[in-house]
């Protein structure tokens, strides 16, 4: 039976009716907007496990069924038939583009990939061993110091130029960070190359010889970016919405999202998975690490496993796992096969273990992606940067949805205060 409202009755018998709001898919929500005013209490949900922070038309996840839809289209179909630029258009504008719309969007992205030369000089100031995510968040944040013309968030006419600039420049900024850490000269973008061809060219070309783009690598990256493009109200997307809700300029909001993504519990997991696999080293060591992951006294967790929403296989992990075989074979990267074989063996052991079964811990998007990035020649420290490149379009789509919401209010949660009660100041000589 559908519920139209819940009634909450306080211990002293005062009742409040809480309306139920229904979406097109997924659980209904209880609107608690009047709760504090009528009952004088807040809700309490650390980590927002059961809290809907907003309504959105962009992405739907069913964690029990392992479903992921971008604007209603199953990610499996988009992975099989679409391209990252087309999926980016879909996420941003809500519909699959016509050929003319797609060509115009692609051309706009291709012609905004260069950085202001002043931004390039930031890279002269970073240490050679700076983490690429530190450079990415710093330089993306600095974009608000260069593109003053797109800072009026209340002028919808500026939203597209902001969108196209940040999507186009993320790979260029990422490549500049990679070149700094590898001690090679920066390579300028080329407008004749598509999104992932250009990224590979900027990452791996050197002035000393012509660079031949590996089309398998370009296609693998394109698919990885589709799979990373958006994921509902995850930690970094919620951070972008939170920062943007104050009216901060969109470049700063995206930089905040990059900072949140860096955490090993979130996008930083793909780098942590590779380091974990390297530490495990051999299938004979798997039981020891699985035991550590189950040991409450040990902070170690099996990186790339578990998910706040998916209590079944992450559909993205399935697609990436299938990609691994193909990419490793086609790239002739037999040297990476042991790492992939180790990951498969670890997955097999974990999925048969009662602890992981009981807690519904399955491989997530980060478990296999690093193996492919490594096979493409991308250094481990750049893995979360690759995640950020894919996810930027999701962040921007949510920022646009939030900033154009006529009911937008600044995000300002409350708390359960457990600190000291009111007390008077004590002079230093009396303490």
Residues of this chain that interact with ligand SDX (CB under 6 A) are 47, 231, 234-235, 265-267, 269, 293, 301-309, 359, 361, 364-366
* End-to-end alpha carbon distance in the chain: 63
Q: What is the DSSP letter of 206?
A: B
CB of 339 to ligand SDX, least distance (A): 17
Torsion of CA 49, 54, 58, 61, to 10 degrees: 20
Query: C-alpha distances in angstroms, 26 versus 45, 63, 122?
Result: 20, 10, 45
**CA max distance for the chain:** 80
Q: How many CB atoms are closer than 10 A to CB 155?
A: 10
Q: Which is nearer to ligand SDX, 174 or 361 (CB)?
A: 361
Candidate list 159, 228, 366, 398, residue with the active-site label: 366
* 3-class SS of residue 337: helix
CB of 307 to ligand SDX, least distance (A): 5
Q: Which is nearer to ligand SDX, 249 or 384 (CB)?
A: 384
The answer to whether 105 and 83 are in contact (CB under 8 A) is no
**β-strand partners of 387:** none
Known active-site residue 106: no
Q: Which is nearer to ligand SDX, 201 or 307 (CB)?
A: 307
CB of 293 to ligand SDX, least distance (A): 4
CB of 312 to ligand SDX, least distance (A): 13
The full length of the chain comes to 431
Q: Which is nearer to ligand SDX, 171 or 394 (CB)?
A: 394
**β-strand partners of 19:** 5
Taking the C-alpha atoms of residue 220 and residue 320, their distance in angstroms, rounded to an integer, is 9
Known active-site residue 366: yes
- Give the list of residues 6+ apart from residue 394 with CB closer than 8 angstroms, or none: 58, 59, 91, 229, 230, 231, 237
CB of 27 to ligand SDX, least distance (A): 16
CB of 231 to ligand SDX, least distance (A): 3
Q: Which is nearer to ligand SDX, 366 or 401 (CB)?
A: 366
Q: Which two tokens stand for residue 319?
A: 């697609």
Torsion of CA 230, 233, 239, 240, to 10 degrees: 50
Pairing of strands 29-30, 59-62: unpaired
Candidate list 230, 307, 314, 398, residue with the active-site label: 307
Q: Which is nearer to ligand SDX, 239 or 245 (CB)?
A: 239
Active site residues: 307, 366
């Amino acid at each position: 039976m559908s519920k139209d409202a819940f009634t909450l009755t306080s211990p002293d018998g005062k009742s409040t009716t809480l309306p139920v709001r229904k979406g097109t898919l997924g659980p209904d929500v209880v609107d608690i907007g009047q709760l504090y005013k009528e009952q004088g209490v807040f809700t309490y949900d650390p980590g927002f496990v059961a809290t809907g922070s907003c309504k959105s038309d962009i992405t739907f996840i069913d964690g029990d069924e392992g479903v992921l839809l971008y604007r209603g289209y199953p990610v499996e179909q988009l992975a099989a038939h679409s391209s990252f630029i087309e999926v980016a258009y879909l996420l941003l504008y809500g519909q699959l583009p016509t050929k003319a719309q797609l060509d115009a969007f692609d051309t706009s992205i291709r012609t905004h990939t260069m950085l202001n030369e002043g931004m390039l000089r930031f890279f002269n100031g970073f240490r050679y061993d700076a983490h690429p995510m530190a450079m990415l968040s710093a330089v993306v944040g600095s974009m608000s110091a260069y593109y003053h013309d797109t800072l009026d968030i209340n002028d919808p006419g500026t939203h597209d130029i902001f969108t196209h600039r940040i999507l186009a420049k993320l790979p260029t900024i990422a490549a500049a960070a990679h070149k700094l850490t590898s001690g090679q000269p920066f390579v300028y973008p080329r407008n004749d190359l598509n999104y992932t061809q250009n990224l590979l060219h900027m990452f791996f070309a050197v002035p000393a010889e012509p660079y031949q783009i590996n089309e398998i690598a370009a296609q693998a990256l394109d698919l990885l970016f589709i799979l990373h493009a958006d994921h509902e109200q995850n930690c970094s997307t919620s951070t972008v919405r939170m920062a943007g809700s104050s009216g901060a300029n969109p470049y700063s909001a995206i930089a905040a999202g990059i900072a949140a993504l860096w955490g090993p519990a979130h996008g930083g997991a793909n780098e942590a998975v590779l380091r974990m696999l390297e530490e495990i080293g051999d299938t004979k060591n798997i039981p020891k690490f699985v035991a550590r992951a189950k040991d409450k006294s040990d902070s170690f967790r099996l990186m790339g496993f578990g998910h706040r929403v998916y209590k079944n296989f992450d559909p993205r992990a399935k697609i990436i796992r299938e990609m691994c075989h193909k990419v490793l074979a086609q790239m002739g990267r037999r040297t990476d096969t042991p790492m992939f074989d180790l990951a498969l063996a670890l997955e097999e052991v974990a999925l048969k273990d009662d602890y992981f079964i009981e807690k519904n811990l399955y491989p997530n998007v980060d478990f296999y992606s690093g193996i492919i990035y490594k096979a493409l020649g991308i250094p481990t420290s750049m893995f979360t940067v690759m995640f950020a490149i894919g996810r930027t379009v999701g962040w921007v789509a949510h920022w646009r949805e939030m900033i154009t919401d006529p009911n937008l209010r600044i995000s300002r949660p409350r708390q359960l205060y457990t600190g000291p009660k009111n007390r008077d100041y004590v002079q230093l000589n009396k303490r």
